[in-house]
């Protein structure tokens, strides 16, 4: 039986936590699709941002990765979707697993913003941001400004600043 360490308080993440997530930027599907599609109008801005921020550590969720693979395969072919997965496997982006309670929080967020078109990938990014205490993200969608962290601060979309 393994022992779990006591959870740090929500108000103050531990130094270990802060070191693990320092420099992390959550990434929605749009920038990832653009990165692997030279014909996408967001390809150059995403590539420019990545080149200007080489220390950024990219993180996404499984719903986003699923959406990226499906759209890349449909638009550009299976090889492109496989290239995305190979890039992730080499460390280009980390994919965070859902935690206990993630589904409940995603459902809560989706119900709260029911007036917007439902998007599991976006809700999973908002949930991961809250769970991991991250505020920075890359998205081509303007509607991320409706999401707030637990302190009520908006998420910061680094591609739309």
Joined together, the tokens standing for residue 10 give 């929500």
Mean pLDDT of 118-130: 88
The pair phi, psi for residue 137, each rounded to 5°, is -145, 160
The tens digit of pLDDT for each residue in 68-80 reads 999 999 999 999 9
Joined together, the tokens standing for residue 69 give 């693979």
Partners of residue 59 on adjacent β-strands: 26, 94
The answer to which of 4-18, 30-44, 53-67, 118-132 has the lowest mean pLDDT is: 4-18
Write down the CATH number for the domain with range 27-157.
3.40.50.1010
The tens digit of pLDDT for each residue in 32-62 reads 999 999 999 999 999 999 999 999 999 999 9
Mean pLDDT of 62-89: 97
Give pLDDT, residue 108: 85
Cα–Cα distance for residue pair 29/66, rounded to 1 Å: 9
The answer to which of 74-78, 135-139, 151-155 has the lowest mean pLDDT is: 151-155
Give pLDDT, residue 5: 34
3-state secondary structure of 61: strand
Asked whether 34 and 46 are in contact (CB, 8 A), the reply is yes
Better-scored residue on pLDDT, 106 or 85:
85
Q: Which one-letter DSSP state was computed for residue 22?
A: T
Give pLDDT, residue 150: 67
Mean pLDDT of 12-39: 75
The answer to which of 16-30, 83-97, 100-114 has the lowest mean pLDDT is: 16-30
Better-scored residue on pLDDT, 111 or 47:
47
Partners of residue 95 on adjacent β-strands: 60
Q: In the chain, where are the structural domains located? A: 27-157
CA angle (95, 103, 124) in 5-degree steps: 40
Q: What proportion of the chain, given as a percentage, has pLDDT over 90?
A: 53
The pair phi, psi for residue 27, each rounded to 5°, is -125, 125
Ordered alpha helix ranges (H), 41-137: 43-52, 62-76, 78-89, 102-112, 120-132
Cα–Cα distance for residue pair 59/88, rounded to 1 Å: 10
Q: How confident is the model at residue 112 (pLDDT cuts 50, 70, 90)?
A: confident
């Amino acid at each position: 039986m393994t022992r779990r360490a006591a959870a740090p308080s929500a108000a103050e993440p531990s130094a270990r936590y802060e070191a693990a997530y320092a420099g992390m930027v959550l990434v929605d599907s749009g920038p990832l699709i653009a990165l692997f599609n030279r014909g996408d109008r967001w390809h150059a801005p995403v590539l420019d941002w990545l080149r200007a921020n080489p220390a950024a550590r990219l993180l996404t969720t499984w719903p986003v990765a699923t959406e990226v693979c499906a759209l890349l395969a449909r638009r550009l072919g299976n090889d492109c979707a496989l290239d995305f997965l190979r890039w992730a496997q080499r460390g280009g982006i980390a994919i965070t697993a859902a935690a206990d309670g993630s589904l409940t929080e995603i459902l809560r967020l989706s119900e709260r913003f029911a007036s917007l078109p439902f998007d599991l990938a976006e809700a999973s990014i908002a949930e991961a941001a809250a769970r991991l205490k991250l505020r920075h993200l890359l998205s081509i969608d303007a509607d991320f400004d409706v999401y707030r962290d637990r302190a009520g601060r908006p998420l910061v979309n680094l591609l739309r600043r």
